């Protein structure tokens, strides 16, 4: 007989406590991708702009689509991981602008999306994020032991 739901082991909840920082000044807040590219006039100055964007927030995800409507499975996976960890994060849609998409590939030396930045540093894509999440879950003691 199957166990009733209340008797089934529950997966461990894993949370990461990231220090909360004050919101960045309005000049550093993320702008829409279209305005970002228009202000930069294409690729000149893209590195400086991306430096500002990734340092303006603790966690930034450059993805296909938005956190509420991801446009690819890999982007969706990273969004779900960050949400399950209760991590506040900002996103930028790379599908909205070709110059941004290419500029990020050059900036990170990483050819695919999503791209996750933590504390202004490139962390990785979906595969690295998923691997670190799985490792953290396996290292966390289970709530039912």
pLDDT digits 0-9 by tens, 92-133? 999 999 999 999 999 999 999 999 999 999 999 999 999 999
Q: What is the mean pLDDT of the chain?
A: 79
DSSP symbol at 144: T
* pLDDT band at 5; cut points 50, 70, 90: low
* pLDDT band at 17; cut points 50, 70, 90: very low
* pLDDT band at 37; cut points 50, 70, 90: very low
* pLDDT band at 142; cut points 50, 70, 90: low
Domain boundaries, the chain: 44-139
What pLDDT, on a 0 to 100 scale, did the predictor assign at position 3? 53
Q: Which residues of 73-106 are buried (b: 16+ CB within 10 A; e: fewer)?
A: ebbbbbbebbeebebebbbbbbbbbebbbebbee
Mean pLDDT of 76-81: 97
Cα 105 to Cα 27, 71, 83, 87, distances in angstroms = 24, 18, 25, 24
Residue 82 pLDDT exceeds 90: yes
Q: Domain 44-139 belongs to what topology?
A: Glutaredoxin (3.40.30)
Yes or no: say if 86 and 56 are a contact pair by the CB < 8 Å rule: no
Q: How far apart are CA 37 and CA 93, in angstroms?
A: 12
What pLDDT, on a 0 to 100 scale, did the predictor assign at position 138? 85
What pLDDT, on a 0 to 100 scale, did the predictor assign at position 9? 56
This model's pTM is above 0.85: no
């Amino acid at each position: 007989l199957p166990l009733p739901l209340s008797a089934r082991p529950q997966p461990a909840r894993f949370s990461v406590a990231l220090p909360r920082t004050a919101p960045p000044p309005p000049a550093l807040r993320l702008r829409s991708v279209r305005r970002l590219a228009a202000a930069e006039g294409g690729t000149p100055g893209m590195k400086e702009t991306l430096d500002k964007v990734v340092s303006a927030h603790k966690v930034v995800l450059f993805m296909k689509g938005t956190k509420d409507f991801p446009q690819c499975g890999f982007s969706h996976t990273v969004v779900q991981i960050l949400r399950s960890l209760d991590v506040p994060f900002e996103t930028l849609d790379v599908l909205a602008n070709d110059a941004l998409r290419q500029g990020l590939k050059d900036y990170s030396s990483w050819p695919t999306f999503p791209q996750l930045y933590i504390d202004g540093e490139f962390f990785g894509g979906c595969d690295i994020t998923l691997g670190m999440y799985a490792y953290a879950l396996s290292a966390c003691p289970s709530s039912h032991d």
